[in-house]
Amino acid sequence: MSMLIFYILAIVAVVSALMVVTLRNVFHSALFLVLTLFSVAGIYVLLEAEFLAAVQVLIYVGAITILMIFAIMLTYQITSKSIRQVNEQVIPAVIIVLVFFVLSLVTLIKTSWPVSNKSLPGNNTFEIGRQLLSTYVIPFEVVSIVLLIALIGAIIISRQDGPSRPGQEDR
Amino acid sequence: MMSELTLLHFLILAAVLFALGIFGLLTRRNAIGILMSIELMFNGAAINFVAFARYVAPQEIAGQVFTIFIITIAAAEAAVGLAIVILIYRNFKGIEVDKINFMKW
């Protein structure tokens, strides 16, 4: 049963990821990206990471793709579909990607993974929170500062005029 | 076909998503398309982390904690990247990356 669900989710994710990278209309690509991210959230549920599935839906689907759709609306003429979307590197890119994929496939199959037959702690979310504030407290604080700086930087970069000087009034 | 879900299934799915992300990164002309491909690659890496957390080291769920860090960094990257895209659009009236070469000697 979980096998069937895995294959459905995997096929949806891969096909819509293919659409994301090949469609001519960037807006449609963004919508297919939403579908891919949803199926990845389903994959997380299959891997017993319910909290991460919720985070994936909230942050990726709810925030990042909406941000991208906003940027597309602000910058790109959706009606003009005649704009060429791919550059002239398609054939080298296909070769590179195939070589990369075959190599990683061979490596993944040939490696014997140290699979343990224990199971995840039952209260997964509780355990994540405990680890974030004990073992990983320094990375947690650092990543918070990184996020804060990135958001301030985004605001400063996308401001219309440079920083307003004293004595110069905004209307 | 194997009858049971194994670690390998998830790793291959992650590799496929990562490879498609690389393909988009190499071929897209639109800067927003490139950012979307980067999100695909982030997702491939995150699936790897969660799969290893489930199958290799389930007692210490470090993989899931690191996936949270990945998602945070992806959010920061998307915010800064889209701000840069909008600024480029304002100055160049287009976001085709092969036209933005004013830093090239």
Domain membership flag for residue A34: yes
Q: Decide if B79 and A30 are in contact by the 8 Å CB cutoff.
A: no
Domain membership flag for residue A71: yes
Which of the 8 DSSP states describes residue B3? S
- Domain boundary among the residues A57, A82, A107 is at A82
Question: What's the CATH code of the domain at A60?
Answer: 1.20.120.1200
How many domains does the structure of chain A reveal?
A: 2
Q: Decide if A20 and B54 are in contact by the 8 Å CB cutoff.
A: no
Region A45-59: mean pLDDT is 92
Domain membership flag for residue A114: no
Q: Decide if B75 and A115 are in contact by the 8 Å CB cutoff.
A: no
Instruction: State whether A76 and A11 are in the same domain.
Output: yes
Q: Decide if A64 and B78 are in contact by the 8 Å CB cutoff.
A: yes
Minimal-distance CA residue of chain B relative to A90: B27
Give the CA radius of gyration of chain A: 22
Q: Which of B4, B8, B64 to mutate to test the interface with A (most CBs of A within 10 A)?
A: B64
Domain ranges of chain B: 7-92
Domain membership flag for residue A26: yes
Domain membership flag for residue A30: yes
Evaluate if residue A72 carries a pLDDT over 80.
yes
Instruction: State whether A75 and A142 are in the same domain.
Output: no
Q: Which of B32, B42, B47 to mutate to test the interface with A (most CBs of A within 10 A)?
A: B32
Instruction: State whether A72 and A16 are in the same domain.
Output: yes
Query: A47 Cβ partners below 8 Å, 6+ apart?
Result: B10, B50, B51, B53, B54
The CATH code that applies to domain B7-92 is 1.10.287.3510
* A97 vs B contacts (CB less than 8 Å): 19-20, 22-23, 26
Chain segment A160-169, per-residue pLDDT in tens: 765 555 555 5
Instruction: State whether A6 and A77 are in the same domain.
Output: yes
pLDDT at position B51, please? 93
Evaluate if residue B21 carries a pLDDT over 80.
yes
Minimal-distance CA residue of chain B relative to A33: B36
Q: How far is CA B76 from CA A47, A117, A170, B79, B87, in A?
A: 26, 36, 29, 5, 17
Q: Decide if A96 and B22 are in contact by the 8 Å CB cutoff.
A: yes
Chain segment B61-102, per-residue pLDDT in tens: 889 999 999 999 999 999 999 998 888 888 877 778 877 777
Question: pTM surpassing 0.90?
Answer: no
Domain, as residue range, for A150: 123-161
Mean pLDDT taken over chain A: 87
Domain membership flag for residue A11: yes
Region A56-70: mean pLDDT is 91
Domain membership flag for residue A87: no
* A95 vs B contacts (CB less than 8 Å): none
Domain membership flag for residue A112: no
Q: Output the six-digit token pair for B92.
A: 């160049």
